């Protein structure tokens, strides 16, 4: 037995065939009367439905191709936009790098000492040790205890060396100590690293005038850092009723979280300098 779907398809085909035959026979002989007119009346709704359906699917087909074209165009535009954004980010990074290098160059021109520019290529992940790795070493003329700086201030000193790499102990490490003085009053002390990445300004006598906002610079008396390099700014002063020293905290000028390029001073003082009154 035939299925209902097959019967319907055969019926539609037969109806279309009969409609075509009747129209072809009667259209020329009986334009206004007879069975042709009745056939037209019977088949016109069906023809309208068939034509409407055909147009509907034709529109859908055309819109499909149109949407496919629009989707492809959108994909191309999105790809071009991503490339433009990547290029903008790259150019912005180059601009920032050039700005940092320009500052390093200006600092290098101002100092009377020979320096080597180096890039920071690694940081110690341990919270107990604050060190960085730079891409300059023995082959670049570096030796142990050379001071490392940036235009903003002191960074640290070289503690280990290899052919093309060096490890630098940051001045914010608790094992670091820098002989320094208050620029305004010349009050001396030792700047040591603290747990919170700042400095403790130790052994500053209570009788000396130290105020929040004072600049702290290297004294040059430790034989490592040249005199007059920026260290940080006094952020807190506590003078207790007992004891001969006051408690001074210092915030560093250099941003140790964003170090990317540094300068290594090649000819620091080889012996402690004498403070000039």
CATH code (residue 161): 2.40.10.340
Q: Which two tokens stand for residue 8?
A: 């319907």
**Residue 144 DSSP label:** T
Do residues 154 and 259 share a domain? yes
Does 124 reside within a domain? yes
Q: Is the same domain home to 58 and 143?
A: no
Residue 212 lies in a domain: yes
Question: Does residue 91 lie in a domain region?
Answer: no
**Is residue 271 included in any domain, yes or no?**
no
User: Which pTM does this prediction carry?
Assistant: 0.61
Same domain membership, residue 226 and residue 163: yes
pLDDT tens across the length of the chain (277 residues): 556 556 556 666 666 666 666 555 555 544 544 555 555 555 556 556 655 665 666 666 666 667 777 777 777 777 777 777 776 666 665 665 666 566 666 666 566 678 888 999 999 887 778 999 999 999 999 999 999 998 888 999 999 999 999 999 999 998 899 999 999 999 999 999 887 667 899 999 999 999 999 999 999 898 899 888 999 999 999 988 888 999 999 999 998 888 888 999 887 655 444 443 3
257 and 191, same structural domain? yes
3-state secondary structure 219-258: CCCCCCCCCCCEEEEEEEEECCCCCCEEEEEEEECCCCCC
Shared domain for 123 and 248, answered yes or no, is yes
Which of 45, 63, 81 is a domain's end point? 63
- Same domain as 233, residue 164: yes
Does 128 share its domain with 210? yes
Q: Residue 161's domain spans which residues?
A: 115-265
Per the document, the length of the chain is: 277
Closest Cα to residue 175, out of 219, 129, 143, 144?
129
Number of domains in the chain: 2
Question: Could you tell me if 120 and 256 lie in one domain?
Answer: yes
């Amino acid at each position: 037995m035939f299925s209902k779907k097959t019967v319907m398809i055969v019926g539609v085909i037969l109806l279309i065939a009969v409609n075509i035959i009747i129209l072809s026979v009667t259209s020329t002989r009986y334009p206004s009367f007879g069975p042709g007119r009745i056939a037209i009346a019977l088949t016109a709704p069906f023809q309208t439905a068939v034509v409407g359906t055909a147009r509907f699917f034709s529109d859908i087909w055309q819109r499909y191709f149109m949407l496919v074209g629009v989707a492809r165009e959108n994909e191309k535009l999105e790809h071009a936009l991503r490339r433009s954004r990547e290029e903008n980010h790259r150019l912005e990074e180059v601009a920032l790098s050039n700005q940092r290098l320009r500052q390093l160059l200006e600092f290098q021109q101002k100092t009377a000492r020979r320096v080597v520019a180096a890039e920071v290529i690694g940081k110690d992940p341990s919270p107990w040790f604050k060190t960085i790795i730079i891409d300059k070493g023995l082959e670049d003329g570096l030796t142990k205890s050379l001071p490392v700086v940036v235009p903003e201030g002191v960074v640290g000193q070289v503690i280990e060396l290899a052919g093309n790499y060096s490890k630098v102990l940051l001045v914010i490490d608790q094992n670091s100590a820098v002989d320094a003085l208050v620029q305004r009053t010349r009050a001396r002390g030792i700047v040591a690293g603290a747990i919170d990445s700042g400095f403790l300004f130790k052994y500053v006598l209570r009788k000396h005038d130290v105020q929040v906002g004072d600049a702290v610079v290297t004294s040059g008396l430790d034989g490592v850092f040249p005199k007059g390099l920026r260290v940080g700014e006094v952020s807190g002063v506590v003078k207790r009723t007992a004891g001969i020293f006051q408690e001074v905290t210092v915030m560093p000028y250099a941003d140790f979280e964003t170090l990317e390029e540094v300068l290594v001073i090649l000819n620091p003082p080889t012996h402690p300098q004498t403070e000039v009154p």
